[in-house]
């Protein structure tokens, strides 16, 4: 029989898709109010590998990646996705989102994203939230799975998450 062990805390990240920089700043402020200050490590890229959000949010869109200094307990991680959805709702215009916040976390072994949408590779974690392993760490770098979104598999994003992992590893020691 396996032994139940206390889980290590994780490095919280957020991927924010936006068009309006003022909405981004307001939403980011609300996230930091909930989860504490962010690390100086940030990355902003064009969101141009899919047009999925264009009908709802317009175009052009950008993606900003942030991570938080404080490690979080993953026992109730689904609550972070629920909170990010509430923040999205604050900025709706005519019933349409003007910002999309996808939280997740980094461990020494993987990047996990949280979502409300079920799919073959996603695992239900409670409270209508699913988790998916988007990248796995092997051979000294993060690597994509066959289902990983193309932007998360890009050199820029993999490089960013390698740096987040290094922060996590230093912090967890």
For 166, the enclosing helix (H) or strand (E) is helix 155-172
Q: Which residue has the tokens 């609300």?
A: 30
The per-residue b/e assignment along 61-86, b for 16 or more CB within 10 angstroms, e otherwise, is bebbbbbbeeebebeebbebbebbbe
What is the residue-averaged pLDDT of the chain? 97
Q: How far apart are CA 148 and CA 152, in angstroms?
A: 7
Rg (CA), the chain: 16
Q: Which residues does 55 contact at the CB level (< 8 Å), separation at least 6? A: none
Tokens found for residue 29 = 């402020």
User: What share of the chain has pLDDT > 90, as a percent?
Assistant: 97
Each residue of 41-85: pLDDT tens digit? Answer: 999 999 999 999 999 999 999 999 999 999 999 998 999 999 999
Domain range list for the chain: 10-172
Task: Give the global pTM.
Answer: 0.96
């Amino acid at each position: 029989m396996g032994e139940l062990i206390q889980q290590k805390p994780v490095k919280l990240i957020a991927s924010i898709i936006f068009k309006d920089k003022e909405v981004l700043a307001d939403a980011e402020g609300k996230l930091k109010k909930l989860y504490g200050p962010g690390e100086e490590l940030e990355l902003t890229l064009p969101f141009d590998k899919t047009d999925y959000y264009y009908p709802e949010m317009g175009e052009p869109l950008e993606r900003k990646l942030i991570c938080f200094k404080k490690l979080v307990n993953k026992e109730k991680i689904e609550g972070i996705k629920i909170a990010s959805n509430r923040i999205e709702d604050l900025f709706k215009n005519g019933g349409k989102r003007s910002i999309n916040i996808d939280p997740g976390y980094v461990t020494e072994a993987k990047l996990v994203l949280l979502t409300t949408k079920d799919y073959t590779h996603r695992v239900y974690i409670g409270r209508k939230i699913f988790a998916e392993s988007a990248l796995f760490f092997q051979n000294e770098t993060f690597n994509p799975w066959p289902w990983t979104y193309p932007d998360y598999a890009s050199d820029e994003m993999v490089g960013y998450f390698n740096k987040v992992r290094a922060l996590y590893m230093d912090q967890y020691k």
